[in-house]
Amino acid sequence: MQRFQQYINGEFEDGSGRFESLDPATATPWAEMPEAREADVDRAVNAAEAALLEGNWAAMTATQRGKLLYRLADLVAANAPKLAELETRDTGKIIRETSAQIAYVADYYRYYAGLADKIEGSFLSIDKPDMDVWLRREPVGVVAAIVPWNSQLFLSAVKLGPALAAGCTLVVKASEDGPAPLLEFARLVHEAGFPAGVVNIITGFGPSCGSALTRHPKIAHIAFTGGPGTAAAVVRNSAENLASTSLELGGKSPFVVFADADLESAANAQVAGIFAATGQSCVAGSRLIVEASIKDRFLAILKAKAEAIRIGSPLDMATEVGPLCTERQRALIEKTVQSSLDVGARLVTGGGRPKQEGYFFTPTILDCDGVVSPSVETELFGPVLSVLSFETEADAVRLANDTRYGLAAGVFTQNLTRAHRMTKRIRAGIVWVNTYRAVSPIAPFGGFGQSGHGREGGLQAALDYTRTKTVWVRTSDDPIPDPFVMR
Ligand code: NDP
């Protein structure tokens, strides 16, 4: 069994506890992980605070911080194959996806490396004579970054990149499910030369480690990605330290297909939207909303594509759908699919376990027209597509917005004016037209409603890791005339 270590104050060490990590493709233990408990969390936060307030990092120019981020980006690119293999092994996410995604993660670090010395304060045209007033942008403080098991390197890069560019220090908590890639990434942080304590990487269980971290009195900001239920617990914890929060949560994203769409292209995008990453994606287009006149034709294309998907070992480059990360996730999916069938949803394809060992579930399509199906409401985080149909554009909008979430949406049409109308009327943080699942470090990412608040990616994300300080300097040598009148 491989052994991994946590990274606190520039040192690699075992945690207060240890636990085994399972390989989801075989359902057997393959590695031993360090479990951080409250005392480890406390040391990590103290190290991050010390690095923030004194020493090399605090004294560094923004340009020097940028250079460290460039070095980290190069190391991520050079080590992408190894990191991808670890992520695949520990989470079951297919190697085809982890390889491409981690190579691209390097670009996120490059983007924020370039931004580090472009974060500017401002000079105010103040309404008083003999007074210079300006805003300094300073790092917000020690950041707790919490990520779920899927895409941990990507989801941590969108926090680490802007936070480090802004001069913050961090404690990153990897999920207990599949922490291997982030713990290995700590070695690259070390090699890049970040001063001790700037980045600390730990893992442990949510209710103990995650909770201790998010209510720690020295945490100034919590950058959280995960489910809405956990987010509510995190926000409650933040009532203790009054930390600000940014929350990237789940979704039940609509994928709207009009009759005039290029159906082949839309079907490929729908496959990418719900079966890529085995559906374990926050932006999964899990509700197909299709114009009634083409419903049967479109479902026939989708069914053929779903049934042709290669299911297999996630470490095989030819595999298109691998296992789910955990048994509990598969259990939730199985239960929800069954209860949807019980209330009248019709199985178009899939719905069961393929022959493989491990936590596999076949790509599944459920026709939910005319029934109140739990699969339409519940985020399943798996390869299950629920289908609804509409007659008019207004119906399409109503169905698309009929969710407590609001992370992403897809619209497929060749009608330009309708496409523009839909982008305005759909309530979601991201709307893709005639494409799906595209992301970039340059484009902000985040949701509405129960999908959270705050944005990751883009310039604003770096500014969100700063706080402004208003500086007043009186430039007159005349004595202050009247101490009882504010000027
Ligand atoms: P969870 O909400 O269960 O876990 C997310 C993280 O929070 C994990 O590191 C978890 O630790 C930790 N955690 C659990 N309990 C607490 C607590 N009380 N205090 C602090 N931290 C805690 O999410 P899942 O792992 O189930 O991930 C799937 C969810 O993430 C889905 O809803 C998905 O949509 C969402 N997601 C959102 C994305 C976005 O950008 N909007 C991107 C990717 C996923 P541990 O795992 O150790 O319990």
Tell me the domain boundaries of the chain: 2-250+442-472, 254-427
Predicted pLDDT at 368: 98
Ligand 1 atom closest to 248 (CA): 41
Predicted pLDDT at 437: 95
| CA 147 to ligand 1 center in whole angstroms | 6
- The answer to whether the CB of 230 is under 6 A from ligand 1 is yes
Neighbouring CB atoms inside 10 A of 274's CB total 30
Give the fold, CATH level 3, of 254-427: Aldehyde Dehydrogenase; Chain A, domain 2 (3.40.309)
CA-nearest residue for atom 22, ligand 1, is 206
Residues belonging to the active site: 248, 282
3-state secondary structure of 169: strand
Give the fold, CATH level 3, of 2-250+442-472: Aldehyde Dehydrogenase; Chain A, domain 1 (3.40.605)
- The answer to whether the CB of 176 is under 6 A from ligand 1 is yes
Mean pLDDT per block of 10 residues along the chain (487 residues) reads: 97 97 94 98 98 96 98 98 96 95 97 98 96 98 96 97 98 97 98 98 96 98 96 97 97 98 98 96 97 98 98 96 95 97 98 93 97 97 98 98 98 98 98 97 97 97 98 95 85
Q: How far apart are CA 175 and CA 170, in angstroms?
A: 16
CA of 400: how far to CAs of 411, 433, 438, 467, in Å? 10, 14, 19, 36
- The answer to whether the CB of 149 is under 6 A from ligand 1 is yes
Report the DSSP beta bridge partners of residue 225. 248
3-state secondary structure of 384: strand
Going by DSSP bridges, is the β-strand pair 254-257/244-248 parallel, antiparallel, or unpaired? Answer: unpaired
Query: What's this model's pTM, rounded to 2 decimal places?
Result: 0.95
Residue of 6, 175, 247, 327 best suited for mutating to test ligand 1, as the one with most atoms within 8 Å of CB:
175
Predicted pLDDT at 321: 96
What are the tokens at 237? 């914890």
